[in-house]
Amino acid sequence: MTFLTKKSIIKLIIICLVCFVVLFVFIRKGSRADTGATFTAKKGNLVISVLQGGSVEALESQQIRSEIKGYQGTRILNIVEEGYLVTEDDVKNGKILVELDSSDLEQRIITQEVQFQSTLSTYIEAQKAYEIQLNQNESDLKAAELNVRFALMDLEKYLGDKLANEIVKMLGLELKPFSYDLEAEETELLEAALTQPTDSKNSQFREQLPFQQSPGFLSRTNQLQGADAESGPRPLRRPGQQQMDVPARFTNQFGADGSTNVGPRRMRPSRQQMSGTNGQSAFRQEFPMSNQITNLPKKEINSPVTKTNPAPAIKIDFTKYADTNLLGDGAAMQQLRNLQNNLILAQQELSLNQIHYEGSLKLYTNKFLTKNELDNEELSVKKSRLQVQRSQTELDLFIKYEFPKTAEDYLSKYEEALRSLERTRKEALSKLAQARARLKSAENRFRIERSQLEDLRDQYQKCKIKALRPGLVVYGGGDDRRFYS
């Protein structure tokens, strides 16, 4: 048995005192913490008293709803559970809250892309066709102009420059400046037709059209008029302007503004009109557009003809121009000189032969020539006399028939070339207007198909609704359409 020493006993006492002090301090602090109100827990009913009616809403909320268009709605494939707490990390990572069924949209996008590509091809084709029509019109007008110039050159070649120009000026067939730029002229005609004043009947008729007054029609019209074609094909190229000359005689036959003068047409009566009922008044109120056709405005444009009164028909007597003092240095002058020279030579030869015959007759009387020699001289005189008659007849036929006929033929060819030029110009305007109409229709169709395709793609992107801000997800019910707040 081991006994504790005095030193060990002292250490044990000190340790006991320290433990006692620590225990005393701990107990004292615990007693201070338990000095608050206390209640003994027991089983019972928890009563909650509502002092005022109302609903509890978040201070800041965000409504999330489907933006997919359709009358039958869209099926929900996945949706986040209610009560899910959206964090900042979810927003950064693009947390998908709702995923809608996009199978129908995918099929519609494929179909729309096919239609869009077809429309784009049609639009480009119409654009190229318009440019080709511009070039074709320019080529046709140049060819028609060359025919006019060549016909005038033939007339000048036959009659001479001075006489040909005098006749052309007298008939009002002098050439006027004319531009090849039919695109600007066709645009002015279109603007003139669109800006024409309308009467009260036409205004009343348009007010009765329900589709023109509907918001959908107006919005679609404004959308087509204000839409740009930045993503479409490149814009059209306008060709350079050139000048040519065209006469001013054909105002009576062709309109100076490039449009056809359409007179009022009789419309076939309806059955009510034929039966004598009130259908006639209803027919007039329902179809007042016939006046609009006849009242198209006449806009002054760059035209190869001038707006003058129809020139009176002038009959030219070309026989009076069969004179060397009036004709110029042309083919007619050359033929006239040849015929006149032939007649002069024949007359001189006849005169010489007559002198020889008279001398031979004296010699024959004096028995210096034989009968045969005298007969030969007499035959020469007869031949010369016949040659004079033939030359005179040829000259008369040329002056009376051949010269007027040939001159009239060249003049008529020149006039026909002018008419052909005017017809070519009007046909070019008509074809250009048709090409522009097809281009405008294709362009509007292209814009509509492109807008529909972009709308379908946008709806496809909206099939996945992602978190845009942190918050607590709450399902909507009834009129409450909130998804999370």
pLDDT tens figures, 297-328: 344 444 444 333 334 457 888 888 888 888 88
pLDDT of residue 46: 76
Three-state helix/strand/coil letters over 224-281: HHHCCCCCCCCCCCCCCCCEEEEECCCCCCCCCCCCCCCCCCCCCCCHHHHHCCCHHH
pLDDT value at 204 more than 70: no
pLDDT tens figures, 136-184: 999 999 999 999 999 999 999 999 999 999 999 988 887 777 666 777 7
pLDDT of residue 357: 86
Percent of the residues in the chain that have a pLDDT greater than 90, as a whole number: 32
pLDDT of residue 209: 37
In contact, 287 and 123? CB cutoff 8 Å: no
Give the pair of three-digit tokens for residue 122: 């049609």
pLDDT of residue 197: 58
pLDDT of residue 249: 44
pLDDT tens figures, 214-259: 343 334 334 434 444 444 444 444 444 444 444 444 444 444 444 4
* More confident site: 446 or 42: 446
In contact, 258 and 297? CB cutoff 8 Å: no
Q: Which of 8-22, 23-37, 214-228 has the lowest mean pLDDT?
A: 214-228
pLDDT of residue 351: 92
Domains of the chain, residue spans:
105-259+296-316+421-462
What are residue 482's DSSP bridge partners? 63
pLDDT of residue 37: 62
Cβ of 466: how many Cβ atoms within 10 Å?
15
Cβ of 435: how many Cβ atoms within 10 Å?
21
pLDDT of residue 193: 67
Q: Mean pLDDT, to the nearest integer, of 424-447? A: 93
pLDDT bin (cut points 50, 70, 90) of residue 295 is very low
Q: Which of 77-81, 290-294, 330-334, 382-386 has the lowest mean pLDDT?
A: 290-294
pLDDT bin (cut points 50, 70, 90) of residue 440 is very high
pLDDT value at 480 more than 60: no
